[in-house]
C-alpha cells in the first residue's frame, strides 16, 4: 500500500442480498492508522462489508477501493481475523502451525522449505501475542481466548497494512476481550496500520476507536463514538424510540424491538 492513497474508500456504495438492501449510498474514507469500529445488529451487513473489502462480494452499486484499486482476493496487504469458532479437540493442528498458515497471506499448507522460511516471523508473532507458552499444544485443547490470540497472530504474521476483524470478541470473557483489543490496538499503533473492527458491543473498544460506523435497518451513520451513539441518532437509524445511556462508563442502549424495518435513505455522513 502507498502512503498517498487511503487504505479504504467507499463511494456511493450499496449492497443488496436476497432481495433486501443491507446498506446503500455509503461514502466513506478510512485514512491510514485509523481504528474504525463497525456496529450494528445481526443482518445489518457488517460481515458483508468485510467480504466486499476482501474481494469476496461485489457491490450492488457504487465503488470501493483498497489503496486506490478495486479489492482483490488473497491480497497480502490485508490481514483477517474471523469470528470465534471452536476447534475440534481431536484436531492435531498446533498453535504455531495455525500461525504459520498466515505467513504468506492466503496459501494454506506448507512444505519443509516454507516451514524454515516462516519460523522466525512465526516465533516473533507468537511472542508478541503472548502465545509462546502454548504454541505446541493442539489448538482444539486451548481456551477461546488462547485460540483467538493465535488467530490474531495468524492475521498479523504477514505484516498487513489493513486488518479486518469480524467479531473476534464473541464468546470471550471481559478480560480476554480487553486483552485482544489492546493487542490489536498496540500493533496497529506501532505499524501505523488501519483496523476495521466489526462488533456488537462498542464498550471494549471505546478507548481505541477513532470512529464508529453504525449500520442498522438499511441506514448508516459514521463519526466519533460520542456523536454517533446518541439517543437522537439511533432513534433515526432504527426508526423507533431508542435511548442511549451512560452507565458507569459504559454505553447502554434501551429501546423497542429494533428488527424488521425496511431499508430507507442513509443518514448523512460525517467523513473526515
Mean pLDDT of all residues in 163-191:
91
- Confidence at residue 250, expressed as pLDDT on a 0 to 100 scale: 81
- Confidence at residue 242, expressed as pLDDT on a 0 to 100 scale: 82
Whether the predicted pLDDT of 131 surpasses 60: yes
Mean pLDDT of all residues in 160-185:
91
Of 156, 147, 186, give the one whose Cα is nearest residue 35. 186
> Which numeric CATH code is attached to 1-77+161-272?
3.40.50.300
Mean pLDDT of all residues in 120-148:
91
- Confidence at residue 215, expressed as pLDDT on a 0 to 100 scale: 92
- Confidence at residue 116, expressed as pLDDT on a 0 to 100 scale: 52
Packing angle of the helix pair 112-128, 144-156 (nearest 10 deg): 120
- Confidence at residue 272, expressed as pLDDT on a 0 to 100 scale: 31
Of 87, 92, 85, 86, give the one whose Cα is nearest residue 138. 92
- Confidence at residue 271, expressed as pLDDT on a 0 to 100 scale: 34
Q: What is the pLDDT of residues 210-241, one digit of tens each?
A: 999 999 888 899 999 988 888 988 888 888 88
- Confidence at residue 117, expressed as pLDDT on a 0 to 100 scale: 52
More confident residue, 150 or 255: 150
Asked if 45 and 22 count as a contact pair (C-beta separation under 8 A), the reply is: yes
Whether the predicted pLDDT of 249 surpasses 80: no
Work out the percent of the chain whose per-residue pLDDT is above 90: 50
Confidence tier at 118 by pLDDT (50, 70, 90)? low
More confident residue, 90 or 205: 205
Whether the predicted pLDDT of 256 surpasses 50: no
> Where do the CATH 3.40.50.300 domains begin and end in the chain?
1-77+161-272
More confident residue, 184 or 247: 184
Confidence tier at 259 by pLDDT (50, 70, 90)? very low
Query: Please, what is the average pLDDT of the chain?
Result: 84
Q: What is the pLDDT of residues 66-117, one digit of tens each?
A: 999 999 988 888 999 988 777 888 888 899 989 988 875 444 344 444 455 5
Q: What is the pLDDT of residues 20-77, one digit of tens each?
A: 999 999 999 999 999 999 998 888 999 999 999 999 999 999 999 999 999 998 888 8
Cα separation, 95 vs 98, in Å, equals 5
- Confidence at residue 265, expressed as pLDDT on a 0 to 100 scale: 31
- Measured torsion, CA atoms of residues 91, 96, 99, 103, in degrees rounded to the nearest 10: -120
* pTM score: 0.85
- Confidence at residue 10, expressed as pLDDT on a 0 to 100 scale: 97
Amino acid at each position: 500500500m502507498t502512503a498517498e492513497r487511503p487504505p479504504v474508500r467507499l463511494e456511493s456504495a450499496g449492497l443488496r442480498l436476497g432481495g433486501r438492501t443491507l446498506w446503500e449510498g455509503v461514502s466513506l474514507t478510512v485514512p491510514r492508522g485509523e481504528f474504525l469500529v463497525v456496529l450494528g445488529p445481526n443482518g445489518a451487513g457488517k460481515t458483508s462489508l468485510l467480504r466486499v473489502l476482501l474481494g469476496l462480494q461485489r457491490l450492488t452499486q457504487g465503488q470501493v477501493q483498497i489503496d486506490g484499486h478495486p479489492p482483490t482476493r488473497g491480497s497480502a496487504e490485508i490481514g483477517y481475523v474471523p469470528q470465534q469458532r471452536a476447534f475440534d479437540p481431536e484436531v492435531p493442528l498446533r498453535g504455531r502451525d495455525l500461525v504459520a498458515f498466515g505467513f504468506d497471506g492466503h496459501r494454506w499448507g506448507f512444505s519443509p522449505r516454507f516451514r524454515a522460511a516462516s519460523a522466525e516471523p512465526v516465533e516473533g508473532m507468537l511472542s508478541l501475542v503472548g502465545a509462546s507458552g502454548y504454541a505446541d499444544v493442539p489448538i482444539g485443547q486451548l481456551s477461546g481466548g488462547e485460540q483467538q490470540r493465535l488467530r490474531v497472530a495468524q492475521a498479523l504474521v504477514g505484516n498487513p497494512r489493513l486488518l479486518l476483524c469480524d467479531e473476534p470478541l464473541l464468546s470471550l470473557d471481559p478480560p480476554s476481550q480487553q486483552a485482544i483489543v489492546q493487542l490489536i490496538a498496540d500493533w496497529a499503533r506501532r505499524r501505523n496500520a488501519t483496523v476495521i473492527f466489526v462488533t456488537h458491543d462498542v464498550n471494549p473498544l471505546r478507548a481505541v476507536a477513532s470512529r464508529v460506523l453504525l449500520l442498522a435497518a438499511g441506514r448508516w451513520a459514521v463519526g466519533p463514538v460520542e456523536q454517533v451513539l446518541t439517543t437522537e441518532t439511533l432513534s433515526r437509524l432504527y426508526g423507533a424510540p431508542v435511548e442511549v445511556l451512560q452507565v458507569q462508563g459504559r454505553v447502554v442502549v434501551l429501546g423497542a424491538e429494533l428488527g424488521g424495518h425496511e431499508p430507507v435513505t442513509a443518514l448523512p455522513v460525517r467523513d473526515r
